[in-house]
């Protein structure tokens, strides 16, 4: 507003002197002065927009050169290119993306948790414009480059990634992609991106019944929880034995509450039936030195007599007639009923075996694509969507995300341009 008042005041003075002097020469100077003034203001506006765009995306001030180059791109009508230039700043990877991904790696959703194989893989995938659906299904993990003085990746600790942080390694240049199966001992067909990372296993396969892995995957990657997905119209035939059919002696609680979650969750969480997080509970009660484990073909769990981990038969006497998990075959009962709203991909069958195919099912849903856009929106705009214009932008960017091979940098670019004027 101050700039605008200064502009109006300057134009008024020029006009006054022009009327007083009535000279052709002055009128020429007046015209040149006005256009020069507008030119200066246009440059200033572009620089201010470039600064806001850079600040939104990286959280740090831009260098003078970067600012000038971004402003030039904005002037040329290339706002997406300007945003991509901002993303060349190392802070986008070491700060913005680390804070973006870290809450997904732990049950407390702590943004200050240490870097780990989960968060590093998200950062690397964004940097390399990897199809973001691969974070739930690919045999990949990002590690520090071999040329760096780091302890090697260890399936029993986080020292490798802690060293990356302690040495302030630039994550833009310091990460490289490798296969997960080559470092954590899983068969390639049992890898599922971050779902089978050590960090995820430590948090979500720790004790329990592996339902936590499914629930937090919904929260982190489909932006929903079990409560909004309750549906007691689905078949209850796959609900496990550990769920009482009359909790507290009242069967109505099961019919109206328990079954509405478990009827859909249990047949999906069955994909994780062969996975466990193994650690010495006596010497290491918090599991800091544990590792992901997987029952391969031919392995038999003593508690189940099959490849299924013993945790799937915990509290089997609660309702002995319930479902005794025999394998890792999963079914998506939510493809029918109200949870069709998640936008399942009709080119997929809605069933499969193991975590990789489940990851594919989830990553190809419309909810997955929209969730990534919503999270970027909150990261860049520093707020949730509030208006119809915000909702329209999220919808448009979700469509663009799909059309542009699920490249998340493009989402940051589009949302950054939308919010840079705020």
User: pLDDT tens digits for 299-339?
Assistant: 999 999 999 999 999 999 999 999 999 999 999 999 999 99
**pLDDT of 4:** 37
**pLDDT of 1:** 38
- Over residues 371-390, the mean pLDDT reads 97
**pLDDT of 6:** 38
- Over residues 221-226, the mean pLDDT reads 98
Task: Evaluate if residue 367 carries a pLDDT over 70.
Answer: yes
Task: Evaluate if residue 150 carries a pLDDT over 70.
Answer: yes
Closest CA to 205 of 13, 355, 376, 95: 355
Question: How far is it, in rounded angstroms, from Cα 119 to Cα 124?
Answer: 9
Task: Evaluate if residue 349 carries a pLDDT over 90.
Answer: yes
Question: How far is it, in rounded angstroms, from Cα 198 to Cα 142?
Answer: 12
- Over residues 223-250, the mean pLDDT reads 96
Task: Evaluate if residue 224 carries a pLDDT over 60.
Answer: yes
Task: Evaluate if residue 197 carries a pLDDT over 80.
Answer: yes
Task: Evaluate if residue 77 carries a pLDDT over 60.
Answer: yes
Provide the token pair at 257: 């509450």
Question: How far is it, in rounded angstroms, from Cα 58 to Cα 91?
Answer: 6
Closest CA to 133 of 221, 204, 213: 221
Quick count: other Cβ atoms within 10 Å of Cβ 103?
17
Q: Which residues are CB-neighbours of 254 under 8 A, at least 6 positions away?
A: 243, 244, 245, 246, 247
Per the CB < 8 A criterion, the answer to whether 98 and 115 are in contact is yes
Inter-axis angle of helices 79-86 and 408-419, nearest 10: 110
Question: How far is it, in rounded angstroms, from Cα 222 to Cα 365?
Answer: 8
Question: How far is it, in rounded angstroms, from Cα 108 to Cα 407?
Answer: 28
Question: How far is it, in rounded angstroms, from Cα 160 to Cα 117?
Answer: 9
Could you report how far apart the first and last alpha carbons of the chain are, in Å?
14
Quick count: other Cβ atoms within 10 Å of Cβ 140?
21
What's the pLDDT tens digit per position in 302-313? 999 999 999 999
> 28-37, 78-87, 187-196, 370-379: lowest mean pLDDT where?
28-37
Per the CB < 8 A criterion, the answer to whether 139 and 188 are in contact is yes
Mean pLDDT for all residues in the chain: 91
**pLDDT of 43:** 59
**pLDDT of 421:** 79
Question: How far is it, in rounded angstroms, from Cα 323 to Cα 301?
Answer: 18
State the number of CA atoms in the 13 A half-sphere of 109 facing the CB: 5
Buried-state track 22-57, b at ≥16 Cβ within 10 A, e below 16: eeeebeeebeebeeeeeeeeeeeebbebbbebbebb
Please give the C-alpha separations between residue 70 and each of 77, 88, 364, in angstroms, as whole numbers.
11, 11, 34
Q: Which residues are CB-neighbours of 212 under 8 A, at least 6 positions away?
A: 107, 203, 204, 205, 206
State the number of CA atoms in the 13 A half-sphere of 343 facing the CB: 11
Biggest CA pair distance of the chain: 103
The residue ranking higher by pLDDT, 31 or 159, is: 159
Q: Band the pLDDT of 35: cuts 50, 70, 90.
A: very low
Please compute Rg for the chain using Cα positions: 27
**pLDDT of 44:** 63
Question: How far is it, in rounded angstroms, from Cα 312 to Cα 315?
Answer: 9
Task: Evaluate if residue 9 carries a pLDDT over 60.
Answer: no
Question: How far is it, in rounded angstroms, from Cα 3 to Cα 17?
Answer: 21
Quick count: other Cβ atoms within 10 Å of Cβ 150?
20
What's the pLDDT tens digit per position in 10-25? 333 334 333 434 444 4
- Over residues 76-94, the mean pLDDT reads 98
Question: How far is it, in rounded angstroms, from Cα 111 to Cα 121?
Answer: 16
Instruction: Provide the Cα torsion 146, 356, 198, 90; round to 10°.
Output: 50
Task: Evaluate if residue 32 carries a pLDDT over 80.
Answer: no
Q: Which residue has the tokens 């599922």?
A: 192
Instruction: Provide the Cα torsion 164, 167, 168, 174; round to 10°.
Output: -50
- Over residues 80-96, the mean pLDDT reads 98
Q: What is the DSSP string of 152-183?
A: PP-TT--HHHHHHHHTT--HHHHEEEE-THHH
Strand partners, 192: 194
Residue 87, H or E segment: none
**pLDDT of 422:** 79
């Amino acid at each position: 507003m101050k700039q605008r008042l200064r502009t109006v005041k300057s134009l008024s003075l020029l006009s006054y002197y022009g009327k007083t002097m009535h000279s052709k020469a002055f009128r020429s100077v007046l015209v040149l002065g006005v256009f020069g003034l507008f030119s200066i203001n246009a440059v200033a506006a572009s620089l201010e927009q470039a600064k806001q765009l850079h600040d939104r995306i990286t959280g740090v001030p831009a260098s003078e050169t970067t600012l000038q180059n971004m402003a030039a791109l904005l002037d040329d009508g290339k706002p997406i290119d300007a945003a991509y230039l901002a993303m060349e700043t190392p802070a986008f990877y070491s700060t913005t993306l680390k804070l973006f991904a870290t809450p997904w790696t732990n049950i407390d959703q702590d943004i200050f948790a240490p870097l780990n194989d989960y968060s590093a893989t998200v950062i690397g995938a964004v940097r390399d414009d990897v199809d973001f659906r691969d974070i739930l299904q690919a045999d990949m993990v990002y590690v520090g480059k071999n040329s760096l003085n780091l302890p090697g990746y260890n399936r029993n600790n986080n020292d490798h990634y802690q060293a990356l942080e302690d040495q302030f390694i630039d994550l833009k240049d310091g990460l490289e992609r490798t296969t997960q199966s080559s470092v954590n001992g899983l068969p390639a067909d049992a890898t599922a991106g971050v779902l089978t990372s050590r960090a995820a296993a430590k948090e979500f396969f720790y004790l329990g019944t592996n339902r936590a892995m499914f629930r937090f995957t919904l929260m982190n990657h489909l932006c929903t929880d079990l409560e909004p997905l309750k549906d007691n119209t689905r078949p209850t035939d796959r609900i496990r034995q550990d769920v009482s059919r009359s909790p507290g002696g009242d069967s109505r609680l099961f019919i109206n509450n328990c079954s509405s979650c478990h009827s859909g969750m249990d047949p999906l969480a069955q994909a994780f039936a062969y996975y466990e997080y193994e650690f010495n509970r006596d010497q290491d009660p918090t599991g800091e030195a544990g590792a992901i484990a997987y029952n391969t073909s031919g392995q038999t769990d003593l508690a189940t007599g099959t490849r299924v981990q013993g945790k799937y038969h915990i509290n089997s006497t609660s309702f002995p007639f319930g479902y005794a998990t025999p394998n890792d075959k999963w079914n998506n009962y939510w493809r029918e009923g109200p949870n069709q709203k998640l936008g399942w991909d009709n080119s997929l069958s809605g069933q499969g075996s193991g975590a990789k195919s489940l990851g594919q099912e989830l990553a190809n849903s419309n909810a997955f694509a929209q969730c990534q856009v919503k999270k970027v929106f909150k990261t860049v705009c520093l707020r949730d969507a509030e208006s119809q214009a915000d909702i329209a932008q999220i919808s448009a960017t979700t469509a663009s995300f799909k059309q542009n091979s699920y490249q998340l940098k493009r989402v940051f670019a589009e949302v950054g341009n939308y919010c840079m004027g705020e």
